[in-house]
Structure 1
Amino acid sequence: MRGILQKVNYAKVLENESTVLEIKEGVCVFVGISEKDVEKDVEYIAKKILGVRVFDHDSTSWKKSVFDCKKEVLCVPQVELLKEIKVGDQPEIPSPMAKGKAKNLYEKLIEKLSKLYDPTKVFSCEFGAKSDISMSNDGPVTIFLESQKATIIG
């Protein structure tokens, strides 16, 4: 499971130029799910989303997480995060997961975030829907998360 976590001043989900979902300060996380992903990956990514310290920066480090600061979380499913360019210029997905199974794991991620955190601060785009995302990246701060390397190593 891959994630791109961005610290945001705001993030909006738009449909036909109308806002259907919006968060204020927090993180927007784009999530990609591969055929190798299992519930252990869901647990790992959920804990990273809530625990990565990207808030309360001083001259040496960031001190607080989404969990510490009670910020909002917006998750956006994005299969393109799995794409890689191996030869030439055409991105390809090496091992995509079947849509139904991927949707199930994505929904488990949202459930896990809601259980570990405040469910009123966890928001999600609909899996498989075309969404336009508008956001203001704060910092900018962008963090790459990947569960497979973590689960293989440790």
Structure 2
Amino acid sequence: MIALIQRVSEASVKVDGEIVGSINQGLLVLLGVEKGDDEAKAKRLSERVLGYRIFEDEQGKMNLNVKQAGGEVLVVSQFTLPADTQKGMRPSFSKGAEPQEAERLYHYFSECCQQADVHTENGQFAADMKVALINDGPVTFWLQV
């Protein structure tokens, strides 16, 4: 399971021109689910994402996690993250989980974030989404479990 996390000042997701999820300061999480991923991996990745200290403290050092910073989380499914790009000029998606399993684990990941008392919004699984964000920094990290 892969999370590309971006520290944002704001972020939103539109489907068919309507906003389906939006946050102010916090993390935009692009989530990729791979074959063999399970609830244990989703829970562990949610803990890593929520605990990752990439927000500035009063001394200006990246020392706070999203909850300590009073931030929010926007989770967007991203089936292209597990793509194999090692050969050729076209990505292979054979490493990605089947859609039903990916959707289940995507929702489970979001539930884990909500259960940790962090306001969490979502995109719409398998939709053609338009994601808008203001990357704060820019600060972007790739986390994988």
Q: Paired residue for 2:28?
A: 28
Q: Secondary structure at the match of 1:46?
A: helix
Per-residue deviation, 1:94:
3.3
**Aligned mate of 1:137, from 129, 135, 138:** 135
Distance 2:82 2:95 in 1: 8
Give the aligned CA root-mean-square deviation in angstroms: 1.5
The answer to whether the 8 Å contact 2:27/2:73 transfers is yes
Q: Paired residue for 1:75?
A: 75
Q: Paired residue for 1:3?
A: 3
Once the two structures are superposed, what CA deviation does each residue of 1:22-54 show, in whole Å capped at 9, x if it has no partner? Answer: 211111000000111011111111101111011
Q: Which runs of 5+ in 1 are unaligned?
A: 148-154
Q: Which runs of 5+ in 2 are unaligned?
A: none
Per-residue deviation, 1:63:
1.0
Identity within the alignment, %: 26
Structure (1 or 2) with the greater helix fraction: 1
Q: TM-score, normalised by structure 2?
A: 0.92
Distance 1:45 1:115 in 2: 14
Q: Paired residue for 1:150?
A: none
Distance 1:55 1:136 in 2: 15
Number of equivalences: 144
Once the two structures are superposed, what CA deviation does each residue of 1:37-93 show, in whole Å capped at 9, x if it has no partner? Answer: 01111111110111101111546x411010111201000001000112122111112
The one-letter code sitting in structure 1 at the alignment partner of 2:122 is: S
Q: Paired residue for 2:65?
A: 65
